[in-house]
């Protein structure tokens, strides 16, 4: 399926791969789609000719964040199964903490991939359902997550968002998804970025994750909670058409 290279920090990785894509296109404008633009993170696109489009779910807690983003040239909020994504219109698609919070994640992922041109890059950041942090997030009832959110998490205006965590939101799930569709995973990394770990009760959150790791005999590790993947859509015409 792929040869996975060791990588540097997540931000540097995405920045490098986007710049390489732009260079390979001999300076032609990069059309970029950000799926999950209701979060406030931004890509570093300085000194490149780009057009950035954002899509996300139509939720009240996301609208203000999207409307305030200065890096988007256009955006749309709707059900992710029907939000407009023109086919083969983007050179880079960046999925930012979206897959773990939506239903029908594989269907949505196929729609997003349909908007990616052959040879294009898919950059994925997602919470790992098979980590201790991911397990705690999906195991808590939604009402309890809402009640605890402000105690554990500070300065995250868009949360708490749903925690669905379908099987594709794991390393094994994404590898299987890419294998079936003829996609190449070129880089992958693990990181720790769960907001509760850096909030007012971060040490308590760390202790809970460590306990989950011990009780699961290491099956749900506390050493990471985020998966970062760089995936390439092949030029090969014999690969499955997406």
Domain assignment present for 143:
no
79 band by pLDDT with thresholds 50, 70 and 90: very high
Give the domain range for residue 101. 10-127+166-192+224-232
Output the pLDDT for position 40: 66
Q: DSSP string spanning the chain?
A: ---PBP---HHHHHHHHHHHHHHHTTTPPEEEEEETTTS------TTS-EEEEEEE---HHHHHHHHH-SS-SEEEES-TTTS---TT-EEEEEEES-GGGSSSHHHHHHHHHHTEEEEEEEEEEEE-TTSHHHHHHHHS-HHHHHHHHHHH--S-TT-PPP----TTSSHHHHHHHHHHHT-EEEEEEEE---GGGGSTTHHHHHHHHHHHHHHTTTSS-SS--EEEEEEE----TTSPP-
pLDDT tens for 176-202 read 999 999 999 999 999 999 999 999 999
Pairing state between β 30-35 and 50-56: parallel
Q: What is the pTM of this model?
A: 0.89
Domain assignment present for 108:
yes
Domain assignment present for 147:
no
Domain assignment present for 33:
yes
Q: What is the CATH number of the domain that holds 66?
A: 3.40.50.150
Domain assignment present for 99:
yes
Residue predicted with more confidence, 27 or 29: 29
Domain assignment present for 238:
no
User: Domain total for the chain?
Assistant: 1
Domain assignment present for 152:
no
Domain assignment present for 101:
yes
């Amino acid at each position: 399926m792929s040869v996975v290279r060791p990588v540097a920090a997540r931000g540097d990785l995405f920045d490098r791969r986007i710049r390489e894509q732009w260079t390979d296109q001999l300076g032609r404008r990069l059309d970029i789609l950000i799926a999950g633009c209701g979060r406030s993170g931004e890509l570093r696109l300085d000194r490149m000719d780009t057009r950035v489009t954002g899509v996300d779910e139509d939720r009240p807690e996301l609208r203000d964040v999207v409307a305030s983003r200065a890096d988007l040239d256009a955006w749309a909020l709707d059900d992710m199964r029907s939000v407009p994504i023109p086919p083969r219109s983007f050179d880079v698609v960046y999925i930012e903490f979206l897959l773990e919070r939506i239903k029908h994640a594989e269907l949505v992922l196929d729609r997003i991939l349909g908007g990616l041109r052959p040879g294009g890059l898919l950059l994925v950041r997602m919470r790992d359902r098979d980590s201790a942090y991911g397990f705690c997030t999906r195991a808590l009832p939604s009402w309890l997550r809402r009640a605890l959110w402000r105690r554990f998490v500070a300065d995250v205006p868009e949360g708490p968002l749903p925690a669905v965590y379908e099987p594709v939101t794991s390393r094994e799930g994404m590898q299987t998804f890419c294998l079936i569709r003829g996609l190449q995973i070129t880089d992958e990394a693990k990181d720790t970025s769960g907001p509760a770990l850096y909030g007012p009760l971060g040490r308590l959150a760390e202790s809970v994750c460590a306990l989950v790791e011990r009780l699961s005999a290491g099956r749900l590790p506390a050493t990471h909670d985020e998966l970062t993947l760089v995936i390439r859509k092949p030029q090969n015409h014999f690969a499955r058409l997406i």
